[in-house]
Structure 1
Amino acid sequence: MKKINEDWQGAFPELVKYAQYKYYKILDSVLVGIELVKLPRAEGYRPYFVIYSLFGNRSGKDLKACLSSPLVLKEFFDNKGRQLSISDLKHTSEFSIILDYVKKQLPFDMEGNVSLKRVFLALDEYSSSPPLSASPNSYLQASLLESKLEIAICSGSEKQVQDIFRQISKKDWDLEHFAMWDVNYIEWIKGLENKIANKKELLEILNTNRGDRKLKMMYQSEVN
């Protein structure tokens, strides 16, 4: 266990251990990093790339709510298309191979600042991959676009905010799927308009969560 932690932190020096097998950094309005998910009924794990909001979600506005569900949970694959997994016993001998796959498939570098375009591409790639790609007009897709809008608001990019909102407004959404999630489409749209008009509220939530004591030791990079 200690060796596993040391190797992953050594491979990504700007990712700080937040909890067992969870390594993050703050990237402006989101938390990004690597999570190692333990395999069921086996001594091993699978690595995932993750993005969490720091501006709240359906579950609430505090950090606990933000970390209750990732915006992105991206798996990694080997050259035969199999999801990467590694046994604890083989970690030392296989880590360099696994790490090479991971680094090649990450949507952006885990060190330094990242362009807003690269962050958006990561979200777009996730939305166009299974299982989300099976339902392009679902509420889950809409929720991801909402997060994209919130990231743009937090970044101060007015053009991106307007572009994303137009994309949302023109989309032929599956309103039955919205109803399955107990979301009223009209109220949802009005909520987005309110976030754009009152961005100070969103920024206050972001600043509160970024200042949480659990994130004090995190590296912080910017979206530019």
Structure 2
Amino acid sequence: MEIVPATEDRWDDVQTVFGTRGGPHHCQCQRIRLGDRAWWYMPVEERAHHLREQLDAGSSDGETGGVAPTSGALIAYVDSEPAGWVAVAPRTEFVRYRGSQVPWAGRHEDKDDDGVWAVTCFAVRVGYRKQGLMYELAAAAVGHARERGAIAVEGYPIVPDPGQQITWGEVNVGTPGPFAAAGLTEVSRPTKRRRVMRLDF
């Protein structure tokens, strides 16, 4: 397995992970970034355009010789095949969370603190699910945030009710297990089914 920054030159691989239908394809990892108001009526093609611009912003350039500090996602390859995706960036980049109970309810956090990064979205390609790939992606996202100067990293997983089956579209925010394995611990419960988990570096 190899997990690397999802830069613009890997665009085709990102779209292979997202597929041609279903939640990841439909969203293009934009709902949390743009917020519901901007996202809801936006065509999929426009969402994809925004994503491609974000990946381009994280591509290598001649000045730094590497990935931009806020490269917003990672892509996983299994036996050289694109298999998974995780979004990770400064918490300030995710518009939807600014006005939501998640992650703020019961906390006194500075919403403008870009030193805190967030792991917000996972996608695993059909055929690679239920193999523990979310654990690998969560660990890589935490390492990515740390390497780029984050002071802390958070995740906002969903917890189903006992016996409840949740769809892949709901579980795209992650579940507690992968975050706990990556070193995050629960700090609050903003809603019945959502948790805030955090690791301070």
State the TM-score, normalizing by the size of structure 2: 0.32
State the TM-score, normalizing by the size of structure 1: 0.29
Q: Which has the larger radius of gyration?
A: 1
Query: More helix by proportion, 1 or 2?
Result: 1
Structure scoring higher RCO (CA < 8 A, sep ≥ 6) equals 1
